[in-house]
Structure 1
Amino acid sequence: MPRIVYIHHNCFVLEAGERTLLFDYPAPAYLPEAAARICASHLAGRQLTVFASHSHDDHFDPEIVAATSGAAARQFVVSDDVADLYGDALPPGRITMEPEDRVDLDGLTVTALESNDMGLAYLLEMDGLTVYYGGDMALWDWPGNSPAANRAVGMTWRRQLGRLEGKRLDVAYSNTDPRLPESLCGAPELLDRVRPRVFVPMHLGGHVHYLDTFAPRLTRPGTTLFRYAKTGDILDI
């Protein structure tokens, strides 16, 4: 049975059969030591694919090769900005992607989608499971932005939703930053339009208590909300 493990912020492990996926493992300044240890325990001896959506420190650790050394085998899928900035720290066999790139990795099909922040979002298909991982693609409608900037952000966000609409999404990871309490980064809109089987809120900076506040706005019939409370919490899909 596939399962999702919460690590910290936007970092999650997805275990699916023989395959383990790791998303957006952050630099040490954004990752408590206890969370790093729990993450390592879920990677030990596994066939691992590491995804980096972009190069912000809260999403990518330049020492990612050392951090994942306990895995039995590894492949790395990174956005082009990660490869540009940290190419020397990554192994030669890494997969570098740009928007609209598509690659098949031994039965794991990865499609790179646009972001309205740095880097990419990912759409993954494997063993009958379809997963959307948004990275920092979100409705970043900051109050300090100009109306024109917020319109542009919203247009890109809704274009992404239009692309996902109608797909059978088993899991959708998307941001619900508590600094944007009105829009929740567009998460309620994603739930209404895309209707994933499982929704995984992200970008809480470890402040998971906000999920108690946000849960009523993130609850939909037919969608399971991963309401994690601490690092290492697991949701079986």
Structure 2
Amino acid sequence: MELVYIFHSGFALLGDGFTVVMDYYMDSKEYGDDGVPHSGILHDGILQREGKLYVLSSHFHPDHFNKEVLTWREKRPDIIYILSKDILKHRRAKEEDALWLRKGEEYVDETLKIKAFGSTDVGVSFLIEAQGKTFFHAGDLNNWHWMDESDEVEWKRNEKYFLYQIDYIYRQVKEMDVVMFPVDPRLGNEYMRGATQFIDKIKTRTFVPMHFTPEYDKANAFGKIAQEKGVEFIPVTHSGQIIKL
């Protein structure tokens, strides 16, 4: 299998006979002034792959759900859309556009299983089981503590909620093969805190950073911590990067 980093928190998982596009925001090349995406790895190849095509979005924020994905059905009427129910609640799509999941719900077919877990912002995170491996896309699940700006009571409350969410996951899933998780430098000095707490709690074989645009060096600095804890770290260096799994 291959994992393709598209942009921001957008990935595509390429397996035998299936493709999963997660949290598409924009393609590996930026949009033009007219709002039309330039050619990129997704439009130029991934969307044309043979086999089943699944599209996942973890929540309604525009950097995780781009309504453009709904137009892909014009060329690929067989697409299976699996979206967080808050997208429907915020009227970003219609009920008939997708299958809708909230925390604790799942989708299963003969190719894969997708379970929705919680978030510390809005929407959900996704655990995908396919070809004997597990892949976790965190969406906006993170320790959004903002401790450089917030008082201690506020950031500790946020942290407590994050730890509750990963405890909920741990009770059902003790280990994961591949984790895509935010390493967002906007949080300040402790921006790697949530990622560290996650891999401390849940055994992670391979970690891929996301939600750091465009500070690659700061996101990849987490590699040292991950490797010290026995986790394989995949540095992300550019949009369109193909990661062999």
- TM-score normalised over the length of structure 2: 0.84
Take 1:222 and 1:69, find their aligned partners in 2: how far apart are those partners? 45
1:172 matched residue in structure 2: 179
2:47 matched residue in structure 1: 43
Unmatched 5+ residue regions in structure 1? none
When residues 44 and 206 of structure 1 are mapped into structure 2, their CA distance, relative to the original with a 3 A threshold, is: farther
Counterpart of 1:198 (choices 185, 201, 206) is 206
- Residues 53-112 of structure 1 deviation map (CA, whole Å, 9 limit, x = unaligned): 001111111121225755573111111111222123x7x251111111122133422211
Matched, 1:86 2:92: yes
1:236 matched residue in structure 2: 244
Measure how far apart 1:232 and its partner are: 1.6
- Secondary structure of 1:76's partner? strand
Unmatched 5+ residue regions in structure 2? 32-36
Counterpart of 1:219 (choices 227, 234, 238) is 227
Take 2:150 and 2:165, find their aligned partners in 1: how far apart are those partners? 21
Q: Does the 8 Å CA contact 1:8/1:35 hold for their aligned counterparts? A: no
The 5 Å alignment of 1:76-225 reads 76-84=81-89, 85-88=91-94, 92=96, 94-142=98-146, 143-165=148-170, 167-180=174-187, 181-184=189-192, 186-220=194-228, 222-225=230-233
Take 1:225 and 1:69, find their aligned partners in 2: how far apart are those partners? 37
- TM-score normalised over the length of structure 1: 0.87
% same residue: 24
Take 2:54 and 2:108, find their aligned partners in 1: how far apart are those partners? 12
2:13 matched residue in structure 1: 14
CA RMSD of aligned residues (A): 2.5
How many aligned residue pairs are there? 233
